[in-house]
Chain A
Amino acid sequence: MPVIKVRDLKTIFGEKVVHDGLNLTINEGEIYGLLGPSGCGKTTLLREMVMLEAISHGSIEILGKKIESISAKDAQNLKQNWGVLFQFGALFSSLSLRDNIALPLVEYTDLSKSMIDEIVDFKIKIVGLKPQDSELFPSQISGGMKKKAGLARALAMDPKLLFLDEPTSGLDPISAREFDALILKLRSMLGLTIVMVSHDLQSIYDTLDRVAIIDEKKIAYEGSIQDVKTSKSKFVQTFFK
């Protein structure tokens, strides 16, 4: 069942055309990768999906809602059904890790303090942070921990859909492989659908089920990672040598 459908998408920044007639489909339970050379608009596409960037033409449908014509109320609901992990975690620097993760729960639900604490402890544990770390502030922790905490915050509301922007960039190879394993584990445990932008070749081979390669403003290839070499795109030929 498709979770995300992008149809005939066109993105224009001023004079510059970023996407022109881009189509892709992401199914439930998949780990789907957006790949392509720098500046091809992967992150822009991700930002359009999570409504941070307006769409020029075309349509994006997420969880059955067309986001170019969505009502404010539906948009609010939709935003509680997905989690986003930004490249550098984007944790709120005035809040401790615990408060960062608890924030969506505090804002959107009427749960008691002790219940929220239990849920936050669980999320901290599940992404592989230690309970003692939860009182630290974002400026006191390493980049890898920031990503894990950002992931825990993205998972706070038990979303079905998770967006990751370069989840392994800036991590050492060991942490990056651990992060890949974590993503696979979370997918199987929580039944997530994951959309990610990545440049990390190892991570691409290890985690992704299907990929879309954006090149020349369009999708140059969409399909399983094994068949990627059949694509004629110049980028694919050099990237997956």
Chain B
Amino acid sequence: MQNKLKATEEGEELFLHFFEKLTLYDITTLEHLISKYFAKNISQVVLDLEKVEYIDTAFGIFLLKIEEHFQQRGVTTTFLCDNISINSTLELVRRQKRKREEGGHPLVKKPFSENFFSMINDISVGIVSFLTFFGQLIMTQLYYLKSFKNIRYKEIAFEINESAIRAIGIVSLTSFLIGLVVAYQSAYQLKSYGANIFIVDMLGISILRELAPLITAIVIAGRSGSAFTAQIGAMKITQEIDAMKSMGFDPFAFLVLPRIIALMITLPILIFIADMMGMFGGMLVSNLDLGISTQLFLDRFREVVDVKHFYIGILKGPFFAFLIASIGIYRGLSVKDDTQSIGFNTTKSVVESIFAVIVCDALFSIIFTNLGI
């Protein structure tokens, strides 16, 4: 790179001779070489471009920057150049720079208080918009459910297939394993007290009442909640939702209600499947580990586990489903028109819906315990 610049000093005069093709790749090297002369006692600088073949605009900007540097130190600078294209590049850069100095307002950084209050504003706008979504949802629901022919059976059936039938495998497997694990862990404890048969009571109540609904809801939140957000978010980016609105189709009726209704119908069914699979897992371990025969397990089950536990578990289904679906869809609708916000909202939708499900479950626990059920 050395051969692109030759600097000679004659008394208070500095000659900078440039050579060859000069592009933005050369700037940093030459900047180091030239900056050595900034501090020296020089009264005149000659920038000699006579032997240069070509400069790009970035290098033009760099040359003017050097000129500015020297001029600020009271050094006179002259350009030596007779190449037309180089001169026009320099002229172009100089013109734009002048325009910039006249026209542009410098950017002012916002003070902390403004940032802070705009953050609070964002949060409150977020809360209000969720409430708006909720209100709109309830109103559409009331409006559309007035008559049976307004219900979009086809979309609901499609969503039932997508978010429930296809989830049966994973829900069964997860709850089977949970039943297995819970039984296995407690078998060890119960054995040491000789209380083997109580495993039926324990599994019956914990799985039917708490574990199966919760596990199912969490799997569905991860599976369908995120899918709702991503689908609707993508539709928002491709302006499909705007197109629907412009054609007079209410996105709430087409996209939101079918999904919510589908999930509210299917989650109880999935919980029922999860109940069976969980109990099956527990029964397997009881049989192998504690020597409780299938017949004995089922007899005991019928005897001690009240049917109310099963109903409570199933009853939670529609509530969880409503939370998962509405949060997923709300997040999908709040996607802005850039791709990043799909990922952001999908993450949020899963986290928020799992959190909401657990809070809801805790509320149910308190209510049912106080009611003595």
Contacts and interface: CB of A to CB of B under 8 A. Distances in A.
Nearest to B93: A122
Contact of B340 (A94, A109, A115, A121): A94
A190 B23 CA distance: 13
Interface residues of A, number: 26
Contacts of B104: 130-132
Interface in B1-40: 23-25, 27-28, 31
Interface in B321-343: 336-340
Interface in A57-116: 93-94, 105, 109-112, 115
Interface string A105-148: 10001111001001101100110001110010111000000000
B338 A109 contact: no
Contacts of A174: none
A118 B65 contact: yes
Contact of B24 (A111, A130, A139): A111
B103 A119 contact: no
B25 A109 contact: yes
B338 A119 contact: no
A195 B31 CA distance: 35
Interface residues of B, number: 29
Contact of B23 (A115, A126, A158): A158
Nearest to A137: B338
> Looking at chain A's contact residues, is the secondary structure mostly helix, strand, loop, or mixed?
helix
Contacts, number: 68
Interface string A221-240: 00000000000000000000
B336 A139 contact: yes
A109 B88 CA distance: 25
Nearest to B59: A158
A52 interface: no
Contacts of A1: none
Contact of B58 (A119, A131, A137): A119
Contacts of B97: 122
A157 B57 CA distance: 9
A201 interface: no
B65 A122 contact: no
B265 to A, nearest CB: 37
16 contacts: A93-B338, A94-B340, A110-B28, A111-B24, A115-B28, A115-B65, A118-B61, A119-B57, A119-B61, A121-B100, A125-B96, A131-B100, A131-B107, A138-B338, A139-B338, A158-B58
